[in-house]
Amino acid sequence: PKEIFLKNYKEPDYFFEKVDLNFQLGEETTLVFSKIFVSPRVEGCSAPLVLDGVDLKLISLKVNGEELKGDDFHVDSRHLTLSSPPSGKYTLEIVTEICPQKNTSLEGLYKSSGNFCTQCEAEGFRKITFYQDRPDIMAKYTCRIEGDKSLYPVLLSNGNLIEQGDLEGGKHFAVWEDPFVKPCYLFALVAGQLESRDDTFITRSGRKVLLRIWTPAQDLPKTAHAMYSLKAAMKWDEDVFGLEYDLDLFNVVAVPDFNMGAMENKSLNIFNSKLVLASPETATDADYAAILGVIGHEYFHNWTGNRVTCRDWFQLSLKEGLTVFRDQEFSSDMGSRPVKRIADVSKLRSYQFPQDAGPMAHPVRPHSYIKMDNFYTVTVYEKGAEVVRMYKTLLGASGFRKGMDLYFKRHDGQAVTCEDFFAAMRDANGADFSNFLLWYSQAGTPRLNVVSNYNTEAKTYSLKFSQEVPPTPGQPVKEPMFIPVALGLLGSDGKDMPLSSVYHDGALESISNNGQPAHTTVLRVTKKEEVFVFNDIPERPVPSILRGYSAPVRMDSDLTDADLYFLLANDSDEFNRWEAGQVLARTLILTLVSDYQQNKPLVLNPQFLNGVKSILCDSSLDKEFIAKAITLPGEGEIMDMMEVADPDAVHAVRSFIRKQLAFELEDELHNTVKNNRSSEKYEFDHQNLSRRALKNTALAYLGSLEDAEMTELALHEYRTSTNLTEQFAALVALDQIPGKVRDEVLADFYNKWQHEYLVINKWFALQAMSNVPGNVENVRKLLDHPAFDLRNPNKVYSLIGGFCGSPVNFHAKDGSGYKFLGELAVQLDKINPQVASRMVSAFSRWKRYDETRQNLAKAQLEMILAANGLSENVFEIASKSLA
């Protein structure tokens, strides 16, 4: 397999100005007619024209209307090459034959539940027709679709419908025209039996946009929340960024077979149905929130991604980091900002930090890849969003907006780079960003250490920062980063002290907020070591550092436990209040893990218990915040902090703490459950979802007690709940307690929901994640369950992904979990390489475990690499993991 490097990027020799596509959809094969208007970038260019093409059968090829002969071109398994194309402009007409019905990779044109649909990003268009499949080729498209009218009554593509009609033999056709230039990865086609929920949105300049969400007829009632989300997103982008939708039609199609969450094809978004369909009975609050975020995300891509796109795939974070940031902000504004921030940071810590510390670590803008699909990662997306957030932290909301405006003014209709975004932010604000661009090129999570000192006589308070970026594959030595540190200082009254000036780098800088002293300031930490000294500080403060998590770093500080409990109780920054609790919990868990490993008895620190109790009982706090604040850091996050990850010890200790807390706070938790039951019908609004979040968290704690009374309580919640959020939480609580009740209730749940495949996926995932010893055998049995299907990515993610995400059984010391994944990875790779490589990633941190586990995991990776006909996707992950 060939590795592709950013440093080798070359502008294309030929541009494509216009593309006319014509699809003849068939039951055996589909014919694709493509007419491309080619123009050389530089007058007189005579370089060969190389088109990408995979799994295509070339039927005919014409240049300027003349059929080409055999020696004028060359076709191999990846390319079609015209060695001496005409000079100047010309037309190219290509006819290819493809077999969507046999396409299980779910990229290119494929079938999902009888309907045709496409997925072209990153490099799926080359499975449809020969093309320069790269994002800097931007063309205007028309698309004619022809197919059987009764099988495919709905025919959709990008842009506007300009013609449709009936044809002989029960067929019909539709012609779509997209007035905007686009790269081929944004091309889409859908054909099938679908119906739509329709609504309209009037843009602020008065354009009336028809909004249509397409699903099979029986699912239409479940699209109300998606439509609500879409309209909210359209309004939000106008309000916050002044960005309006630019066509009269916006289509969303939900399909059950989809490799990822969704795809932002121009005016024809295609979604994994789990991110569109929701009803109170079949979707949880988490699903509702995900739908809101992802509908927003794909809609926001219309400007950040589609109108302005990426020059090459290394720049992926240009659109993804920015669009994730935008969807995070949207969700924050629609719900609770601190809670959303907490959720996003937890995700970063649980998934991105481990990636950044492992063999697949790569910068936000990778330097190389074998298979681009492997780089749609938490680093490119989530760390990329943190990078965008840092611009906003440094520039403020209005400075950030100025930068965005300039970015669109400069680059609308272009394919650009991360530097272009950086330059727009800088130039719009005349800002000095020093070495900020290192965030795009250096991998690894920076470690920031802070040491404080209060000088009683001088009334000064100093903070000394030192930083270190750990080595990552290919990057042994790192430069110091530009780290924006949002900071406040709390007085003994628990209030923020007014900050007037700080001495730094030999100069006194005034800190002001329109003339008023500030309560939070943003320090610009740019060196390996540097000191900031605050003046006029009347007493030793407690510092609240990295407020709102202003930079994606791991921070260590000399804060004492007393300081942390003080912040937990008083910080005006809610994120840092939560964070103080997390730091305390992490320390507690790690201490007990070491006790556990030395066979010492486990004892819960009473101060920690009191901290949790005071949060739980503080009626002035938002309930969703309480739910987050009493939740312990995840097992993955803890293992990520250990020298040698010990899944059994971490699991045992975390369970011990949960059980102790439940035991000590049983009455409070019980009351929390009782007082937060649903009375009215399900509403997805902040008040109601917060109540459910708190109730469910309390119930989960009580479930850990594993006694008859708690079983009775959970069973009662299970039976009486009228929405899936509460019913499923009750099931999760019961699932912790092995025995007859658990088995009966799991069977009951299946019987009840067997016709709702999205609910059944949750049922698979729940069982897959169970910590009952030897669970691998249950999971193996579930592979043969009639509702399971290895070809459907959602089912694979639920059952196999769920199993690999649960530390205890996946990392079972007898190697049974690794063996299971090894076997399945090889099997899956034959069906769908993208899904297989995602599963194989579960092995990537094998070196973090003890020697026995290392050997077992390594053997599986070697076995996978030795498999016949291995895909590039899996090869890249497996080989880099072993390196």
Which part of the chain contacts Zn ion (CB under 5 A), choosing from 316-324, 441-449, 646-654, 718-726? 316-324
Q: At what angle do helices 647-664 and 666-675 cross, to 10 degrees?
A: 80
Write out the binding residues for Zn ion, residues 575-614 only, by CB under 5 A.
none
Which part of the chain contacts ligand B3K (CB under 6 A), choosing from 32-40, 260-268, 344-352, 362-370? 260-268
Based on CB atoms, which residue is closest to ligand B3K, 287 or 756?
287
**Per-residue buried b or exposed e for 372-407, using 16+ beta carbons within 10 Å of the residue's own CB:** bbbbbbbbbbbbbbbbbbbbbbbbeeebbbbbbebb
121 binds ligand B3K (CB under 6 A): yes
Q: Minimum Å distance from CB 877 to ligand B3K?
A: 14
Which part of the chain contacts Zn ion (CB under 5 A), choosing from 197-205, 321-329, 527-535, 575-583? 321-329
Distance of CA 61 to the CA centre of its chain: 41
Q: Minimum Å distance from CB 574 to ligand B3K?
A: 29
Which pair of structure tokens corresponds to residue 291?
């739908």
Question: What's the Cα-to-Cα distance from 13 to each of 52, 87, 166, rounded to whole Å?
Answer: 14, 11, 41
Residues in the chain: 883
Q: Amino acid identity of 791?
A: R
407 binds ligand B3K (CB under 6 A): no
Based on CB atoms, which residue is closest to ligand B3K, 302 or 806?
302
Q: Minimum Å distance from CB 551 to ligand B3K?
A: 23
How many of the other CB atoms lie within 10 Å of CB of 368?
14
* Residue 839 interacts with which of Zn ion, ligand B3K, none, CB < 5 to 8 Å by class: none
Based on CB atoms, which residue is closest to ligand B3K, 324 or 616?
324
Question: What are the backbone dihedrals phi and psi of residue 423, each rounded to the nearest 5 degrees, phi first?
Answer: -65, -40
3-state helix, strand, coil in the chain (%, to 5): 45, 25, 35
Q: Amino acid identity of 765?
A: A
Based on CB atoms, which residue is closest to ligand B3K, 122 or 486?
122
Q: Minimum Å distance from CB 846 to ligand B3K?
A: 25
257 binds ligand B3K (CB under 6 A): no
Distance of CA 454 to the CA centre of its chain: 42
**Which sign, positive or negative, has the C-alpha torsion 488, 491, 496, 502?**
negative
Helices and strands, number each (H, E), in the chain = 29, 35
The verdict on whether 468 is a catalytic residue reads no
Based on CB atoms, which residue is closest to ligand B3K, 138 or 713?
138
Q: Minimum Å distance from CB 188 to Zn ion?
A: 15
Write out the binding residues for ligand B3K, residues 344-383 only, by CB under 6 A.
373, 376
Q: Minimum Å distance from CB 791 to ligand B3K?
A: 17
Which part of the chain contacts ligand B3K (CB under 6 A), choosing from 258-266, 629-637, 696-704, 744-752? 258-266
387 binds ligand B3K (CB under 6 A): no
d(CA 805, CA 845): 12
Based on CB atoms, which residue is closest to Zn ion, 416 or 693?
416
Long-range Cβ pairs for the range 42-48 (8 Å, 24+):
42/13, 43/88, 44/87, 44/88, 45/13, 45/14, 45/87, 46/84, 46/85, 46/87, 47/13, 47/14, 48/81, 48/82, 48/83, 48/84, 48/85
**Per-residue buried b or exposed e for 296-325, using 16+ beta carbons within 10 Å of the residue's own CB:** bbbbbbbbbbbbbbbbbbbbbbbbbbbbbb
Question: What are the backbone dihedrals phi and psi of residue 697, each rounded to the nearest 5 degrees, phi first?
Answer: -65, -40
Which pair of structure tokens corresponds to residue 13?
């020799």
Which pair of structure tokens corresponds to residue 814?
């007898």
d(CA 703, CA 697): 10
Based on CB atoms, which residue is closest to Zn ion, 404 or 790?
404
Based on CB atoms, which residue is closest to ligand B3K, 263 or 564?
263
* Residue 463 interacts with which of ligand B3K, Zn ion, none, CB < 5 to 8 Å by class: none
| Binding string, residues 70-109; x marks residues near ligand B3K by CB under 6 A | ----------------------------------------
Q: Which of 269, 388, 220 is nearest to 318 (CA)?
A: 388
Write out the binding residues for ligand B3K, residues 299-338 only, by CB under 6 A.
301, 320
Which part of the chain contacts ligand B3K (CB under 6 A), choosing from 149-157, 259-267, 572-580, 637-645? 259-267
d(CA 320, CA 324): 6
d(CA 447, CA 412): 38
260 binds ligand B3K (CB under 6 A): yes
As a three-state string, the secondary structure of 145-182 is EEEECCCCCEEEECCEEEEEEECCCCEEEEEEEEEEEE
* Residue 376 interacts with which of ligand B3K, Zn ion, none, CB < 5 to 8 Å by class: ligand B3K
Number of residues in contact with ligand B3K under rule CB under 6 A: 12
d(CA 700, CA 632): 12
197 binds ligand B3K (CB under 6 A): no
Q: Minimum Å distance from CB 376 to ligand B3K?
A: 5
Based on CB atoms, which residue is closest to ligand B3K, 237 or 579?
237
CA distance from start to end of the chain: 16
Q: Minimum Å distance from CB 695 to ligand B3K?
A: 33
* Residue 20 interacts with which of Zn ion, ligand B3K, none, CB < 5 to 8 Å by class: none
Write out the binding residues for ligand B3K, residues 593-632 only, by CB under 6 A.
none
297 binds ligand B3K (CB under 6 A): yes
Based on CB atoms, which residue is closest to ligand B3K, 282 or 317?
317
Q: Amino acid identity of 348?
A: L
264 binds ligand B3K (CB under 6 A): yes
Q: Which of 339, 286, 346, 357 is nearest to 633 (CA)?
A: 346
Write out the binding residues for ligand B3K, residues 122-151 only, by CB under 6 A.
122
Which part of the chain contacts ligand B3K (CB under 6 A), choosing from 140-148, 217-225, 261-269, 790-798? 261-269
| Binding string, residues 829-858; x marks residues near ligand B3K by CB under 6 A | ------------------------------
Count Cβ atoms within 10 A of the Cβ of residue 858 and give its class: 0-12 exposed, 13-18 middle, 19 or more buried. middle
Task: Figure out which of the listed residues 263, 502, 673, 877 binds ligand B3K, where binding follows CB under 6 A.
Answer: 263
Q: Minimum Å distance from CB 871 to Zn ion?
A: 23
Residue that the structure tokens 């100069």 belong to: 507
Which part of the chain contacts ligand B3K (CB under 6 A), choosing from 242-250, 297-305, 419-427, 714-722? 297-305
Of the residues 107, 123, 298, 637, which is catalytic? 298
Which part of the chain contacts Zn ion (CB under 5 A), choosing from 224-232, 317-325, 386-394, 544-552? 317-325
Task: Figure out which of the listed residues 219, 257, 285, 298 binds ligand B3K, where binding follows CB under 6 A.
Answer: 298
Q: Minimum Å distance from CB 323 to ligand B3K?
A: 7
Which pair of structure tokens corresponds to residue 672?
């929390």
* Residue 122 interacts with which of Zn ion, ligand B3K, none, CB < 5 to 8 Å by class: ligand B3K
As a three-state string, the secondary structure of 472-536 is ECCECCCCCCCEEEEEEEECCCCCECCECEEEECCEEEECEECCEEECCEEEEECCCEEEEEECC
As a three-state string, the secondary structure of 674-716 is HHCCCCCCCCCCHHHHHHHHHHHHHHHHHHCCCCHHHHHHHHH
Q: Minimum Å distance from CB 852 to Zn ion?
A: 40
Based on CB atoms, which residue is closest to ligand B3K, 154 or 322?
322
Based on CB atoms, which residue is closest to ligand B3K, 124 or 216?
124
Just list the catalytic residues. 298
Interacting residues with ligand B3K (CB under 6 A): 121-122, 260, 262-264, 297-298, 301, 320, 373, 376
Interacting residues with Zn ion (CB under 5 A): 320, 323
